[in-house]
């Protein structure tokens, strides 16, 4: 029998596929006498086979060009089919056939993958899973898989199809993004600036904690969705919110980097920067940064003030000598006039007014020098109670009759180390201020006591060191101060007094003096409720210095010794001569250092016991002159005087231990007492050389 396939044309003209079977017909002898043919129409089968071949070709083409990984697994997870796309990761797909699909899974992920596969087989529900495959080069690749089942004719799960995708690049991009966001967060939270990012509609994209802290924004507003509430909160804090918000709106269409300052109602000042967020060249928002520069501005203001005071100090130092010489003459002659006038003389009041004005000018000059730190502090250990008692009478002269003044000394107050003259300066300034604050009368109280300032107090008061202090307080029942006045009261030249009534240096000088003494000054005041100044001086455990008496009273001391007076200012030279001669001394005069050397050489009378000399003079200064005289007269006593600042005196080697110095302007009484004090020192030498 023979089988073959051919194509016939049907009567209706169609061509059909035919399968023909030809069998021989034999006679009784076995001889072939004919043949039988059986034909079947196989057109549909041929079409099905062609369709199958086409489908297989399409499947092959799809698998070869598919980026995803496709695997068909049996129920044990062995590979029955692997798409060509496996070649890049695991090698030849044909060689993988029959191997366990779990062998290539990363050991750390294997148990999880096996469990998911078994769950798929058991339930017939595919699992979505992400895990790592170990590629043929040994590197781990992240794979995202979706399983599905194939069922047999009886509905049982017979195979599992796993479609996978290599998501390594996506995972790496996600990791890079997470790392970038982590780094960004670290940077944002580490900076001292407040950072805020907003979109083009003003909605907050990102903000660091520093931003919320600087703006004092409650976390509930930062976490909330209500940007309007946040905006209202911001608006309430700014001193000029409309200007700021108008600026914000204008910047949303600008690519410019903007910077400016921002003021708050509570006095804080922020430095702000703003730059655009560009996405594909389009402005989609802005980033704002805010920096609190309040303290920096304060320091800048202090620096400017310090420069101003330095200029004032240089000016004061420059004119101090000449001005103090003039004042010395005015003060001296007004004193002499008063001493020669009868107490009832109408001219006495005029002389007193002259002296009062000169004293004010002297005080003002000294305050300028103190504040500009041109005077050197000469502290001694003293009892603050004694200091206040010694100054009591002088302070009462500053107070009007309609003001009641009371001094309340503390019990067993400790000792302090301060310049006695500066103590007088502080108390005088505070008493005068208290007097001026009570034009219609009131009560002024000066009190002292021991106090201890603890850590809590020091924490809230800049520059205070915890410890034991002696406090002196000056309280009045006057007009008091507003908060604005208190904020500026220690600034130089700030005053609320009418023109001609105050210089604005009193409290600034007090603060400078107290700080130089290592102390602290505190103020309690309220408008209409009076003022209390409290000054704290550190207690010291040292013995009292001998002779810390502030003012010496009694008649002026007299003498008969011969003195050499060296002064280049004629008016002051004549005044000093008159004061000394009035007390019985013989006075030799010289206009400068060279002149003094000549006078000393030519003098043949009684020995010169003391030389009173200005420090800075033309031709030869007092220090050089004194050194020359000391060579010839080794034990000669020298009293230096000057109207220059202590800083200038230090440059000439005068302001130091063992050198006697009297600052101009001085009163005739102070001058006479200082001269007598030096002459009365033991072992006073003679100034005549052996001839």
User: HEC profile for 166-184?
Assistant: ECHHHHHHHHHHHHHHHHH
The pLDDT > 70 percentage for the chain reads 78
Closest CA to 249 of 311, 198, 181, 195: 198
CA 159 to each of CA 52, 74, 90, 120, 122: distance values in angstroms, whole numbers, following the listed order: 21, 5, 21, 10, 12
If you average pLDDT over residues 119-144, what whole number do you get? 89
**217-259: pLDDT as tens digits:** 887 777 666 566 777 777 888 888 888 888 877 777 778 888 8
What is the chain's mean pLDDT, rounded?
Answer: 79
Query: 637: which 2 tokens?
Result: 């006593």
**434-462: pLDDT as tens digits:** 888 888 889 999 999 999 988 888 888 87
pLDDT at 649: 47
DSSP symbols for 447-509: EEEEEEE-HHHHHHSTTPPPEEEEEEEEEE-S----HHHHHHTTSTT---SPTTT--S-HHHH
Contact indicator for 156, 119 with CB cutoff of 8 Å: no
Closest CA to 616 of 644, 647, 655, 575: 644
Can you give the residue ranges of every domain in the chain?
A: 2-49, 66-171, 191-292, 380-540, 562-679
Which has the higher per-residue pLDDT, 247 or 268?
Answer: 268
Strands 79-82 and 69-73: antiparallel
Q: What is the CATH number of domain 66-171?
A: 3.30.450.20
Give the integer Cα–Cα distance in Å for 514 and 461.
Answer: 15
| Helix, strand, coil share (%) of the chain residues, nearest 5 | 40, 25, 30
Residue 596 burial (C-beta neighbours within 10 Å; 0-12, 13-18, 19+): buried
**93-127: pLDDT as tens digits:** 888 888 998 999 999 999 999 999 999 999 988 88
Cβ neighbours of residue 655 closer than 8 Å, sequence gap 6 or more: 376, 646, 649, 661
Contact indicator for 451, 466 with CB cutoff of 8 Å: no
DSSP state of 411: S
Beta strands per DSSP E along 338-419:
380-383, 403-408, 415-418
DSSP state of 89: H
Strands 157-166 and 140-151: antiparallel
Phi, psi of 166 (to 5 degrees): -75, 110
The two most distant CA atoms of the chain are separated, in Å, by 195
Residue 19 burial (C-beta neighbours within 10 Å; 0-12, 13-18, 19+): middle
Rg (C-alpha) for the chain, rounded Å, is: 53
Give the integer Cα–Cα distance in Å for 576 and 672.
Answer: 9
Q: What is the CATH number of domain 191-292?
A: 3.30.450.20
CA 254 to each of CA 250, 257, 284: distance values in angstroms, whole numbers, following the listed order: 7, 8, 11
pLDDT at 312: 64
- Distance from first CA to last CA of the chain, Å, rounded? 175
Contact indicator for 665, 322 with CB cutoff of 8 Å: no
If you average pLDDT over residues 271-275, what whole number do you get? 89
**202-219: pLDDT as tens digits:** 778 888 888 888 888 887
Instruction: Tell me the pLDDT band of 401, cut-offs 50, 70 and 90.
Output: confident
Instruction: Tell me the pLDDT band of 19, cut-offs 50, 70 and 90.
Output: low
Pick the CATH number of 562-679 from 3.50.50.60, 3.40.50.2300, 3.40.50.920, 3.10.20.740: 3.40.50.2300
Q: What is the CATH number of domain 2-49?
A: 2.10.70
Q: What is the CATH number of domain 380-540?
A: 3.30.565.10
Looking up tokens 């008159």 gives: 578
Phi, psi of 355 (to 5 degrees): -65, -40
Which segment of 31-35, 58-62, 286-290 scores lowest on mean pLDDT? 58-62
The pLDDT > 90 percentage for the chain reads 12
Closest CA to 535 of 468, 474, 445: 474
Closest CA to 411 of 445, 381, 450, 467: 450
Same topology, domains 2-49 and 66-171? Answer is no
Residue 249 burial (C-beta neighbours within 10 Å; 0-12, 13-18, 19+): exposed
Give the integer Cα–Cα distance in Å for 24 and 27.
Answer: 10
């Amino acid at each position: 029998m023979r089988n073959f396939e051919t194509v016939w044309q049907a009567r209706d003209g169609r061509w059909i596929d035919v399968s023909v079977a030809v069998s021989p017909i034999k006679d009784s002898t076995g001889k072939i006498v004919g043949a039988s043919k059986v034909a079947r129409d196989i057109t549909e089968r041929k079409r099905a086979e062609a369709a199958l071949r086409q489908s297989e070709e399409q499947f092959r083409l799809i698998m070869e060009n598919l980026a995803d990984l496709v695997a068909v697994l049996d129920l044990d997870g062995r590979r029955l089919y692997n798409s060509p796309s496996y070649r890049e990761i695991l090698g030849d797909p044909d060689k993988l056939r029959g191997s366990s699909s779990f062998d290539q899974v990363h050991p750390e992920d294997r148990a999880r993958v096996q469990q998911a596969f078994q769950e798929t087989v058991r339930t017939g529900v595919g699992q979505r899973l992400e895990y790592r495959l170990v590629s043929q080069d040994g590197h781990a690749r992240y794979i995202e898989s979706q399983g599905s089942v194939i069922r047999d004719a009886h509905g049982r799960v017979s195979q599992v199809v796993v479609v996978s995708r290599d998501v390594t690049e996506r995972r790496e991009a996600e990791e890079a993004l997470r790392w970038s966001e982590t780094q960004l967060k670290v940077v944002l939270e580490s900076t001292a600036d407040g950072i805020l990012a907003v979109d083009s509609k003003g909605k907050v994209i990102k903000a660091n904690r520093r931003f919320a802290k600087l703006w004092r924004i409650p976390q509930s507003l930062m976490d909330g969705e209500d940007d309007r509430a946040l905006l209202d909160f911001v608006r309430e804090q700014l001193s000029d919110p409309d200007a700021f918000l108008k600026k914000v709106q204008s910047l949303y269409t600008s690519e410019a980097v903007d910077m400016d300052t921002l003021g708050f109602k509570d006095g804080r000042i922020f430095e702000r920067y703003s730059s655009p967020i560009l996405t594909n060249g389009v402005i989609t928002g802005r980033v704002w940064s805010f920096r609190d520069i309040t303290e920096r501005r304060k320091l800048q203001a202090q620096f400017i003030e310090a420069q101003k005071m330095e200029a004032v100090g240089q000016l004061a130092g420059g004119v101090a000598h000449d001005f103090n010489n003039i004042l010395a003459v005015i003060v001296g002659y007004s004193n002499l006039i008063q001493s020669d006038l009868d107490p009832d003389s109408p001219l006495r009041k005029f002389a007193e007014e002259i002296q009062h004005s000169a004293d004010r000018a002297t005080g003002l000059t000294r305050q300028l020098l103190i504040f500009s730190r041109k005077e050197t502090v000469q502290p001694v250990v003293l009892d603050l109670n004694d200091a206040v008692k010694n100054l009591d009478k002088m302070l009462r002269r500053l107070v009007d009759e309609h003001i009641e003044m009371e001094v309340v000394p503390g019990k067993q107050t400790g000792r302090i180390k301060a310049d006695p003259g500066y103590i007088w300066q502080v108390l005088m300034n505070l008493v005068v201020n208290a007097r001026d604050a009570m034009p219609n009368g009131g009560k002024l109280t000066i009190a002292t006591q021991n106090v201890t300032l603890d850590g809590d107090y020091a924490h809230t008061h800049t520059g205070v060191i915890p410890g034991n202090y002696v406090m002196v307080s000056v309280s009045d029942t006057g007009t008091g101060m507003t908060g604005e006045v208190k904020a500026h009261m220690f600034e130089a030249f700030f005053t609320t007094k009418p023109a001609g009534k105050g210089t604005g240096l009193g409290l600034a000088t007090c603060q400078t003096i107290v700080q130089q003494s290592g102390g602290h000054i505190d103020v309690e005041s309220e408008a209409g409720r009076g003022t209390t100044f409290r000054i704290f001086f550190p207690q010291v455990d040292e013995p009292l210095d001998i002779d810390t008496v502030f003012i010496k009273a009694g008649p002026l001391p007299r003498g008969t010794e011969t003195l050499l007076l060296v002064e280049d200012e004629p008016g002051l030279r004549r005044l000093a001569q008159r004061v000394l001669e009035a007390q019985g001394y013989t006075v030799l005069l010289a206009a400068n250092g060279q002149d003094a050397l000549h006078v000393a050489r030519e003098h043949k009378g009684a020995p010169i016991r003391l030389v009173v000399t200005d420090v800075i003079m033309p031709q030869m200064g007092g220090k050089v002159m004194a050194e020359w005289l000391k060579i010839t007269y080794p034990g000669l006593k020298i009293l230096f005087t000057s109207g220059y600042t202590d800083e200038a005196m230090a440059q000439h080697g005068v302001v130091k231990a063992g050198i006697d110095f009297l600052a101009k302007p001085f009163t005739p009484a102070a001058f006479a007492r200082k001269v007598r004090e030096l002459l009365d020192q033991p072992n006073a030498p003679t100034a005549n050389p052996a001839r």
